[in-house]
Every structure is written in structure tokens, then in C-alpha cells.
Amino acid sequence: MNYQELIFDPQVIRRFDVNGPRYTSYPTADRFVEAFGADDYVRWLGQRTVGGIGKPLSLYVHIPFCNTICYYCACNKIITKDHGRSAKYIKYLGKEIAMQEAALDGSRDVVQLHFGGGTPTFLSNDEMRRLMDIIRKHFRLLPGGEYSIEVDPRKVDRETVKLLGELGFNRMSVGVQDFSPEVQVAVNRVQSLEETKLVIDSAREFGFKGISVDLIYGLPKQNVISFNHTLDEVLKLDPDRLSIYNYAHLPALAKPQRRINEADLPSPDARLQILQLAIRRLTEAGYVFIGMDHFAKPDDELAVAQRQGRLHRNFQGYSTHAEADLMAFGVSAIGKVGPSYCQNVRTLDEYYDRLDQGVLPVFRGIELNADDLLRRSIIQALMCHFELSIESIEIAHLIDFKSYFADELADLKEMEAGGLLSIDDQWISVLPRGRLLVRGIAMAFDRYLRTDRERVRYSKVI
């Protein structure tokens, strides 16, 4: 299959664009239950080598602090300039990391580490050193692993990038969103091309092997001409990966978005034109469409993993480490160990309080049943590879696909007639016209959505 194949059909998109989850997990985080708590998570940490198989580890650390607020942002964050708050947070992260590691069965070998937020680079150089020392005290970061950090170029200089390299980071995700001054003012994120270029050049100088740039389409004051200029500048920066996220305007759920003037948002048609332009420019420049909103150079690990059938999705997006157990630390962080997910409490006060009591700060989670595991494997295959072997699912899960999913297959008939996918006895294949709408196709297999048609909480697929 040629993963370059992607047909942008505005009529098909308008017809099938619905609100839906991003499927960084299945079941999605809004389905986690508070009946699953710290004890359940500890039990799964202690069963990692049952059957003699020890999976490698992936670690996620959530740093919630930001110096300033970006109006489009819906992340769990705390706006402050007070480093007393981050110093205290690192101390408590140390407690949580020690407690999780004490409950851990199996090896402490780590193949993937990601610092997200908030703004991980809010931390001072000393704080960053302290946190990495804590991690290395409890885990072994294997050579050749993928160690990534999200960077705000407005707060980072060459020396900081050098330090990050020395601490072991080898991948960097750089937030850009848009280079238009008018758009930047409208979202309260003024960031020059020069400071962005400095960070990316420094990362290359100090041996980072992967640089990713994040853009957002659908922001206030954005239009096709201004975004084309942003793409000109981004392509000159020559990142290994690009993410082009759809701005979801949900002011009822994300308070900062209330500061955005809705009249300044591009129309649905203008948004589609911006997305169409971005896809055309990136594919012409040689980037491969990985899925949803991700592009990568053909020799990037994501593109290689997709060609080899090893691509995976987790809470950081697309990943090459499908087999790893994910341990997560910090407020609101989500982990995945064995057939379970768990999420930490969302506020600092609750986080500190739980740890002071000697309890892990897990406030909800879920233990996957056989049906969840089956549907997760189907949704993963569709989201990552645009195709599904019916026979392999039947063998792995001991089901008769056609009878088990009779209702789902009936629901997909309209999309099949619309040219989004093809279904035969052996395969479900997402066609080039359906690639951008793969979330909508995956939704047909989401049992929770089938029993609950309340989709308002989700952003649009496109």
C-alpha cells in the first residue's frame, strides 16, 4: 500500500465530518471510572511478568507550568512565573516515581521517555537536572531509546538545548502553531521565526535525531494566504515530523478559549482550504501522511514503522513502541500497564495530598475486558495502518467477525458507498478518500459510542 495516497475531497469531508474522539486510547479517557483506583494500578504494576514476559517501559512526565497562557490551549496547565512551585512539584514527582517503581514487577529498562505539559521547558536547568537524576535513579534509559521533550522556543536558548542533549533527550517537539503576527496576537502567543530557528538549529548542532513541529489550523485571523507563508517558513526549517492539529473551539470546556473572538475564526470552508493547502504543500515537499494530522519524512522512524506494520497510537500520538507499558507521572497523567489504563488527579492540591498520605494519586482508570481489547486492536489497526485483516482478528480473539460485528458492518455501508473504505471477506481497507476521516470510521467500532450518542464533548474529526 502506498501511504502517500491521500485524496482530499471537500464534498466527502463535509458529508462525513462528525464529532469524535482522537483514539489515543480505547476505551477513551472519558470512559475511565473512579471504581478503578491506586490499588488496582499497583496490582497491575506487580503483574507485569506474569507468564514470563516482561515488556519494556515507556515513561511520561507531565509538567503543568506555563509562563503565559495561549488562548487556544485546552491542556491541564498552571500559569505562573514562580519557580518555587516547580521546585515543590519536582520533589513530589520524586515521591510518586519512587512509589510506582517500588510496586513494579520486572525490569526497569526504558525505551521511551516523554516530557509533556504545560511547558516542560518552564523548568530551570537545575530543576531539569534534578528531575532527570530522579528518573535515572529508578530506571535505566536504554541506549538507542526515544527520549523526547516538548519545547517552547520563546523560553529556550542554545545553552538549554545543549543541556537537554547532555541529559539524554534526543527528540524535540517544537510548538509553532502559526507564524502570522496577527494570528499570534489573537491567541496570545507571540513567537518570532528567529527564536524558533535558533532552537531547531541548536537541536541539530547538539545531536538531536528527530525534530517535530506543531502547527494548528482554524485559529482566529488565519487564512489561506497567511498560512501558506507559515508553511514556507516551516518547510525551510526542514523538520523530520509535522503535526497539523485542528483547533477545536470548545469555550465551555476550555476557559482560555473564551478570550478568542468567535467572529475572527475562519469559516468551515476556509478551514478546509487551509488544511487542503497544508496537505498539498507537505506531500509535494516529500512528507508522508502518517495518519490524522501527522506527517513525517520517508526515512523517519514513524514512516518506517508504518511501512513495516509496527506503528502504534498512545497518549502522545503516533509511536513506534507498541509493546511498551506506559508509566505516567504528575497531575492528570495517563498510564497504560497490561490491560489497564489509569489517570492521576488533576489539581496540585489533590496530587500533593494523596502523596503526603502515602497513596498513589490515581483517581480513575479502567480494566479492559475481552471486548475492549478486541475493539482496541481494530481501532489501532485502522488508525495506524488504514487496513484491517479480518482473519488475523478472528484468530487472535477467537470470534466470527461478520456475526460479532454485524451492526458495525451495517453502519459502515454508507461510508463504503461514499468511497471511504472497502470491505471484503478478508480485509477492511480505508481508501485514499477516507484517510482523513479515519476517526469517523474507527468510531463505528466504539462500543461506548454505540450505546451513547452524546458526541458533543468531542471535537470535529476535520
Q: Annotation-wise, does 150 bind a ligand?
A: yes
Q: Annotation-wise, does 416 bind a ligand?
A: no
Beta-bridged to residue 147, according to DSSP, are: 113
For residue 154, report the phi and psi dihedrals to the nearest 5 degrees.
-70, -15
| 65-66/78-79 β-pairing | parallel
Q: Annotation-wise, does 357 bind a ligand?
A: no
Q: Annotation-wise, does 74 bind a ligand?
A: yes
Contact indicator for 175, 153 with CB cutoff of 8 Å:
yes
Q: Annotation-wise, does 100 bind a ligand?
A: no
Q: Annotation-wise, does 118 bind a ligand?
A: yes
Q: Annotation-wise, does 448 bind a ligand?
A: no
Q: Annotation-wise, does 166 bind a ligand?
A: no
Q: Annotation-wise, does 196 bind a ligand?
A: no
Q: Annotation-wise, does 66 bind a ligand?
A: yes
Q: Which distant-in-sequence residues (6+ apart) come within 8 Å of 417 by Cβ?
A: none
Residue indicated by cell numbers 501522511: 289
Q: Quick one: CA dihedral 203, 204, 210, 211, positive or negative?
A: positive
Q: Annotation-wise, does 287 bind a ligand?
A: no
Cite the beta strand spans of 325-438 per DSSP E: 325-329, 334-337, 340-344, 362-367, 387-389, 421-423, 427-430
Angle at 264 between CA 262 and CA 265, to 5 degrees: 70
Q: Which of 164, 95, 92 is nearest to 123 (CA)?
A: 164
Q: Annotation-wise, does 70 bind a ligand?
A: yes
Q: Annotation-wise, does 273 bind a ligand?
A: no
Distance CA 4, CA 269 (A): 24
Which residues are annotated binding-site positions? 60, 66, 70, 72-74, 117-119, 150, 177, 189, 214, 248, 334
Which residues are annotated binding-site positions for S-adenosyl-L-methionine? 60, 72-74, 117-119, 150, 177, 189, 214, 248, 334
Which residues are annotated binding-site positions for [4Fe-4S] cluster? 66, 70, 73
